[in-house]
Structure 1
Amino acid sequence: MKSLKKAILLFAVTFISLQMYAQRIRVVEGKVPDLKNEKSVNTEFTYDNISVGKFDKEADYIKNKTEEYNKKEAGRGDSWAKKWVEDRELRYEPKFDELFTKYSDLTIDNNAKYTIIFHTTFMEPGFNIGITRKNAFINGEVLIVETANKNNVIAKLSLDKAPGNSFWGNDYDTGERLSETYATAGKSLGKFIKK
């Protein structure tokens, strides 16, 4: 029993280490402003021109999945497509903000000096069918701009392969897996900005 606990702990540590190693944030242009004197930032999210899985265009992915689900059960695909878009505001963005504020020690305020614009460029929704799974992840572009003049880009960062999965593997819902990718992205960006 003792060796089983050690094996599980070793597996968990290795898994978490590999997940953190896979994700990468780097400054592409400019310089991240020193936010030590700031108490808050504003956040905004954009989803234009996203690639999803093997599809270059999100619209093609949505069409394919909608048709697939509607063939299995009338109306299921239409409900899925609606939820696909709604999850952004209801699940992804709040998860990002929650973990970002926790790890950056900043609050979210529309009137803050700086705005962080998180633009999702790629989504891998992954899957979990019980016996096999593929983890979700996202790629994104982060712009740090002046809130009063959003054309003034202070820094541009890239965030690659923010993973998303639940610790116990109960992420059968696409929205759940993807919301975890935004949580990971928020946490990582919060830590990155804080240092």
Structure 2
Amino acid sequence: MKNLLQFALILLLATTAGYAQKLKVKEGSFKSLKDIKEYTLVFDYAGVEIPKYDSEEEFLEDKMAKREEKEAGAGEVFKKSWFADRENVYEPKFIESFNKRFEDGEVKVTKETTASHTMVIKTTLMYAGYNVGVMRQNAKIEALISIYENSAPDKILFSGMYTKVEGQGAMGFDYNSGYRISEGYAKLAKEFAKDLKKKGLK
């Protein structure tokens, strides 16, 4: 048992080592965000890429069919969960992770009120990863974060693409795919908040 736990730990470290999320600023700059205190969040998943599949529809068809072979109705349950997790899990996780980086409330993101500025989180890639005990792989997301003032939506104040954002949790005991993906959104929020503090608020 000891050797098995050691192997699992080594494998976990191997899967998390050697990666780092990357940011490429597409338009504007963090400096443009200096005086903004609150953002209304909009999440966009249209056209999301799923690795190894030509489309999200193909991915869902494959996963649903495999589940239906094992249990009638399981495919539809998976499909509903796949979409429901966005609003119920991923988005709250992003909000929580971002806001807790600003304990004094100097900057805030929300879906509940209409602020003067909007932050759009467009997910361009989503990979659920897997965890089958001694073997696992982190979930991964990539997203374009864009910000504009509501009175001038065509004028982008900041737009940046975050790639290689990986999600894991529970010390590697993250067997639920939705949970793993949600940790990717937590990581995305953490990294954006860190960049905002470092490059935009000073």
State the 4+ residue runs in structure 1 displaced beyond 6 angstroms: 14-17
What SS does the aligned partner of 2:173 have? Answer: coil
- Hey, what does 1:99 align to over in structure 2? 97
Verify the 8 A CA contact 2:40 2:118 in the aligned structure 1.
yes
Aligned-CA RMSD value:
2.2
Verify the 8 A CA contact 1:84 1:175 in the aligned structure 2.
yes
What SS does the aligned partner of 1:103 have? Answer: coil
What SS does the aligned partner of 1:51 have? Answer: coil
Verify the 8 A CA contact 2:42 2:118 in the aligned structure 1.
yes
- Hey, what does 1:74 align to over in structure 2? 72
Distance in 1 of aligned mates of 2:121 and 2:49: 15
- Hey, what does 1:30 align to over in structure 2? 28
Higher mean C-alpha deviation, range 166-175 or range 68-77: 166-175
Partner AA of 1:112 in structure 2 = A
Select 1:159's aligned residue among 159, 162, 177.
162
Verify the 8 A CA contact 1:128 1:172 in the aligned structure 2.
yes
Verify the 8 A CA contact 2:32 2:158 in the aligned structure 1.
no
Higher mean C-alpha deviation, range 177-186 or range 102-111: 102-111
- Post-superposition shift, 1:141? 0.8
Distance in 2 of aligned mates of 1:70 and 1:95: 30
- Post-superposition shift, 1:18? 3.8
TM-score, length of structure 2 as denominator length:
0.82
Matches within 5 A, 1:1-195: 18=17, 22-104=20-102, 105-109=106-110, 110-195=113-198
Deviation per residue, 1:138-183 (Å, 9 max, x gap): 0111111112332221121000011101142121111000000000
- Gaps in structure 1 of 5+ consecutive residues: 1-6
Partner AA of 1:189 in structure 2 = F
TM-score, length of structure 1 as denominator length:
0.85
Higher mean C-alpha deviation, range 157-166 or range 108-117: 108-117
Higher mean C-alpha deviation, range 141-150 or range 181-190: 141-150
Verify the 8 A CA contact 1:116 1:142 in the aligned structure 2.
yes
Verify the 8 A CA contact 1:102 1:190 in the aligned structure 2.
no
Q: Provide closer, same or farther for how the CA distance between residues 49 and 108 of structure 1 changes in structure 2, counting only shifts above 3 A.
A: same
Distance in 1 of aligned mates of 2:15 and 2:97: 17
- Gaps in structure 2 of 5+ consecutive residues: 1-5
